[in-house]
Amino acid sequence: MEQVTREEFRLSLTNLTAADRFDDRQQADPGKERAERLARLGVPERYIELEIDPAAIPEAARQWRTRQGNLLIYGRETGTGKTTTAAFLCKLIAETVTSFRFVGVPDLIIRARATWNAKRGGETEDEIVDKLVRPGVLILDDLGAEQSSETSLQLLYAVIDGRWSQNRRTVVTTNLEPADLVARYGDKITSRIFSGVQVQYSGNDRRIFTA
C-alpha cells in the first residue's frame, strides 16, 4: 500500500478546496437578490412578497410587454388589482429588461415639491425628471391621487413627453376614466399616455374582507 505523508495529505486538501471553491454568486439566493433589486427599483414591499396568479392578470396586460407603446390600467373602483397588475409586470420584465422604475405619483410630487421649496443643495427637479426618463420601462402608479397644481402638471408632462419622445414605454395606473384624465391633465399629456394598450378594471374592493 502506498504511504502518504502528512504534508502530501495537507497539500491534497488545499488543492481540493481551490478546485471546488464555490463562487459567491453561486451561493447567493436568487430569490432574495431578485426581491432586493425590485425594492431598489421602487416596487412596494407588499407587492414584492405577494404571490400573484398570472391567470388573474388580463391577457392584454400580459401581452403588452411584447408590444410597443404604453399601457394604461384604469378603473373607478379601488382595490380591483391595478397596482397588482403593474407589480406583476415588474416581476416579468425584471428578467428581460435591463432598466425599469416603479414610482407612485403622489410620492413623486411630494419629492419634487421638496426641490421647489429648497434653496440649494440636494436633488433638483431636472435630476428627478432625468431619472424617470432614462429607464426602459417606467410604472407611474396611482395617477390622479396626487395634489394637482400647474407645477405638478409641468413635471408630469416633462416625464411623460421625455419618455414618449425617446420611445420608452410607460405603464400608468389610475382610478380615473380616460375622459376624466383628459379633463384633468389635458390633451398634451393624455394623448401620450393613451398611445398603446388600455385595460379597464372593475369589481369589488379585494382589500376588504367580509365574513
DSSP character string of 39-92: HHTT--HHHHH----GGGS-HHHHHHTTSSSEEEEE-SSSSSSHHHHHHHHHHH
Tell me phi and psi for residue 67, to 5 degrees. -115, 175
Other CB atoms within a 10 A radius of the CB of residue 45 amount to 10
Q: Give the pLDDT of the chain (211 residues) as one tens digit per residue.
A: 445 455 554 544 445 444 344 344 445 566 787 778 777 877 777 777 777 777 778 888 888 878 889 999 999 888 778 888 888 888 777 777 668 899 999 999 998 888 876 665 678 889 999 999 999 999 999 999 999 899 999 999 999 999 999 999 999 999 999 999 999 999 999 999 999 999 998 876 655 543 3
Q: Hey, is 151 helix, strand or coil?
A: helix
CA distances 100 to 69, 167, 200, Å, are: 15, 14, 23
* DSSP assignment letter at 193: H
| Cell representation of residue 121 | 443643495
> What backbone phi and psi angles, to 5 degrees, belong to 137?
-135, 135
C-alpha span between 183 and 190 (Å, rounded): 9
Rounded to 10°, the helix 150-165/105-117 angle is 110
Q: Closest by alpha carbon to 72, among 154, 195, 163?
A: 195
Query: Residue 138 in contact with residue 168, Cβ under 8 Å?
Result: yes
Containing 8, the helix (H) or strand (E) segment is helix 6-19
Q: Side chain identity at 111, as an amino acid letter?
A: R
Nearest to 205 by CA among 76, 74, 79: 79
What's the start-to-end Cα distance of the chain, in Å?
A: 77
pTM of the predicted protein model: 0.76
